């Protein structure tokens, strides 16, 4: 299956929160089957010879980071319409909604959870809480004031929403290609680094939806996150609402501009149900199958990596340039010591 076909399949697959487990399985099955046919046996992770990367190789760790640490500011950046979301919020500003919200805020031990405080801001929430609780009866004027207050808060937080959603997931990036001159230049320290080969098909057997592997979807348009943001805001306010699509957090993590198509990228994604307050990193313990040394790697770095590779008993290869070839291509051969 082509990535473009997979993109259409994933986009058309919707899993509302709260549906039966059997229904979830039936909806997920076409995606799982597609991934089984698409995922290559070999994926490659380009690395510089930093102390952190050498240590990770030694310990069989694959680090994943939040997308705000990526070199592309548009990576995982979603689309949303401020006007549409404010319009939806105005539609919710009914007497019934405000009465329900007031009862939640008046609960004796009620306090907003830390993630909500981080998301909305303590001062905004304190002002909103005071305004709602002080309402002496719900009338058109009260609803109008509440609507204006909510619009002001939304305007402020939505300006930061793109960055907030970048810390929903931690992501580890890999490529289908080991012979990309550009990849060696960008991600392996100008060919002075190394690359590790992995077989990640075992991840397709994971039963937890918060950790998976997916191909990057290259598109000229960013992911439309309007529905997800509306749900998240309502959920943060303590309302009993269901997520329209439980796959939204995964879809957000794999959208990227077509300008990056040459990377042929796959992503290991570890997702949280709620955005964290800041950048973070996670790790998976995965043993590599082989190591490839950059064409310009230093002797000392190659010796260190060779020693670790020997301990692991994995294959070693040297990248090289065939000076007698007309093609711009990277080649590799069994490493010589």
pLDDT digit string, tens, across residues 103-162: 777 776 767 666 567 666 777 777 777 777 776 666 666 666 667 767 776 776 676 677
Residue among 123, 134, 75, 133 at smallest CA distance from 103:
133
Helices (H), 159-247: 161-165, 181-187, 226-236
pLDDT mean over 41-54 = 97
Residue 173 pLDDT exceeds 60: yes
Q: 283-310 pLDDT, tens per residue?
A: 899 999 999 999 999 999 999 999 999 9
Most confident option among 61-75, 97-111, 218-232: 61-75
User: Which residues have CB under 8 Å from 23's CB, separation 6+?
Assistant: none
pLDDT mean over 75-90 = 79
Q: CB atoms < 10 A from the CB of 155, how many?
A: 12
Helices (H), 20-94: 21-38, 51-59, 82-92
Q: How far apart are alpha carbons 330 and 322 in whole angstroms? A: 8
Average pLDDT of the chain?
A: 85
Answer whether 67's CB lies under 8 Å from 76's CB: yes
Residue among 130, 319, 286, 303 at smallest CA distance from 211:
286
pLDDT tier at 17 (50, 70, 90 boundaries)? confident
Higher pLDDT, 105 or 63: 63
Joined together, the tokens standing for residue 243 give 């997520």
User: In the chain, what is the straight-line distance between the N-terminal and C-terminal CA atoms, in Å?
Assistant: 41
Q: What confidence score (pLDDT) does residue 82 get?
A: 76
Residue 209 pLDDT exceeds 70: no
Angle 144-149-153 from CA coordinates, rounded to 5°: 145
SS3 317: strand
Higher pLDDT, 324 or 118: 324
pLDDT mean over 33-39 = 94
Q: What confidence score (pLDDT) does residue 85 get?
A: 75
Q: What confidence score (pLDDT) does residue 276 get?
A: 59
Residue 332 pLDDT exceeds 60: yes
Q: How far apart are alpha carbons 103 and 153 in whole angstroms? A: 20
Q: What confidence score (pLDDT) does residue 92 get?
A: 67
Residue 86 pLDDT exceeds 90: no
Q: How far apart are alpha carbons 40 and 179 in whole angstroms? A: 15
Cα dihedral 38, 220, 198, 315 in deg (nearest 10) = 110
Cα 128 to Cα 147, 151, 291, distances in angstroms: 11, 11, 56
Q: Strand runs (DSSP E) across the chain, as ranges? A: 43-47, 61-66, 169-175, 194-198, 211-215, 217-219, 255-257, 265-271, 281-285, 290-293, 315-320, 331-334
pLDDT mean over 22-45 = 93
């Amino acid at each position: 299956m082509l990535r473009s076909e997979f993109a259409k399949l994933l986009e058309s697959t919707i899993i509302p929160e709260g549906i039966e487990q059997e229904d979830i399985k039936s909806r997920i099955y076409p995606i799982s089957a597609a991934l089984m046919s698409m995922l290559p046996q070999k994926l490659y992770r380009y690395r510089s010879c930093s102390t952190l990367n050498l240590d990770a190789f030694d310990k069989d760790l694959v680090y994943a980071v939040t997308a705000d640490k990526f070199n592309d500011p548009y990576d995982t950046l979603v689309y949303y319409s401020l006007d549409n979301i404010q319009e939806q919020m105005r539609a919710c500003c009914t007497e019934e909604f405000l009465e329900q919200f007031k009862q939640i805020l008046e609960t004796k031990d009620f306090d907003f959870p830390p993630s909500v405080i981080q998301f909305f801001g303590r001062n905004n929430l304190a002002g909103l809480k005071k305004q709602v609780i002080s309402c002496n009866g719900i009338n058109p004027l009260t609803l109008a004031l509440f609507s204006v207050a909510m619009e002001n808060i939304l305007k402020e937080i939505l300006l930061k929403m793109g960055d907030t959603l970048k810390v929903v997931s931690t992501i580890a990036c890999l490529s289908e290609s080991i012979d990309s001159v550009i990849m060696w230049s960008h991600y392996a320290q100008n060919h002075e680094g190394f690359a590790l080969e992995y077989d990640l098909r075992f991840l397709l057997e994971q039963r937890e939806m918060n950790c998976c592997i997916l191909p990057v979807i290259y598109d000229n348009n960013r992911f439309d996150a309007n529905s997800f943001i509306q749900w998240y805001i309502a959920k943060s306010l303590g309302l009993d609402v269901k997520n329209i699509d439980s796959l939204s957090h995964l879809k957000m993590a794999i959208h990227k501009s077509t300008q990056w198509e040459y990377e042929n990228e796959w992503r290991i994604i570890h997702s949280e149900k709620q955005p964290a307050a800041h950048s973070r990193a996670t790790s998976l313990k995965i043993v590599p199958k082989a190591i490839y040394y950059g064409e310009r790697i230093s002797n000392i770095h190659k010796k260190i990596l060779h020693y670790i590779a020997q301990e692991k008993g994995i294959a070693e290869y040297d990248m090289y340039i065939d000076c007698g070839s007309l093609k711009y291509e990277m080649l590799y051969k069994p490493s010589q010591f």
